[in-house]
Amino acid sequence: MNSIVERLKEVRSQIENACQQCNRSPDSVQLLAVSKTKPASAIRALYQAGQRSFGENYLQEALSKQQELKDLEALDWHFIGPIQSNKTRDIAAHFAWVQSIDRVKIARRLNEQRPNSLPPLQVLIQVNIDDEASKSGVAPDEVAHLAASIAQFPQLTLRGLMTIPAATTSAKAASESLSAMQSLYSELASQYPTVDTLSMGMSNDLAPAIAAGSTMVRVGTALFGARETT
């Protein structure tokens, strides 16, 4: 059986290969380990192998793992799940990044609730690039408006965009979605100097996402194995 550390090496080498294919430097793509439903012990094992950034979708689950892992230094927690208003206070206090901002109301609450003792929350706007009813995120033509609001909030730093493309589309449709994200992202980056992150690509589409300019891939299954519940 593959150990989790071997799977980490495997995923890192997939990232390096994908970068090589499109003449990008391997350190231009960060790896976010998506640990939802997985135990704190698995996170600890990856941490010991050098992984520092972890993504969680469910607040209560994340808070209890953070508690178990509070002896680990310089661990970056990213909130990547849908956000309800009544969760913003804890999210603002316990995460370094939030990748799933999809409305001004949530951004405003996170800004107000981010403790002054912490650096600004690093945020990404989630884009529903394939216009799926089941997914959160703004439509592409709403990005500019939400970005302009976020830019006015002192406790938030706008870092870029996140997307989860549709799982079932053809290769051609998938590549059109990835390049639509790439254009949206470069437009945003040209307007806001703090924008440097395009969070795109998961276990099954790392390479095409990297070819389309992703700077952060979010990998769960390929690192931790399949999840029992989705």
Ligand X SMILES: *Cc1c(COP(=O)(O)O)cnc(C)c1O
**218 binding ligand X? (CB under 6 A):** yes
Residue window 133-172: x/- pattern of binding to ligand X, with contact defined by CB under 6 A: -------------------------------x--------
In the structure encoding, which two tokens stand for residue 167, read together? 């799982």
**80 binding ligand X? (CB under 6 A):** yes
Q: Write out the binding residues for ligand X, residues 9-68 only, by CB under 6 A.
A: 34, 36, 57
**220 binding ligand X? (CB under 6 A):** yes
C-alpha 221: how far from chain center: 15
Distance between CA atoms of residues 56 and 59, nearest Å: 8
Closest distance between ligand X and the C-beta of residue 127, in Å? 12
Helix (H), strand (E), coil (C) string for 13-33:
HHHHHHHHHCCCCHHHCEEEE
Contact 178, 166 (CB under 8 A): no
Applying CB under 6 A, the span of 12-20, 71-79, 187-195, 199-207 interacting with ligand X comes to 199-207
**221 binding ligand X? (CB under 6 A):** yes
131: CB partners within 8 A, 6+ apart: 139
Nearer to ligand X by Cβ, of 125 and 155: the residue is 125
Applying CB under 6 A, the span of 128-136, 143-151, 172-180, 196-204 interacting with ligand X comes to 196-204
Cα separation values, 36 from 53, 54, 64, 89, 202, Å: 13, 9, 12, 20, 14
**Residue 154 phi, psi (nearest 5):** -65, -25
Binding site for ligand X (CB under 6 A): 34, 36, 57, 80, 164, 202-204, 218-222
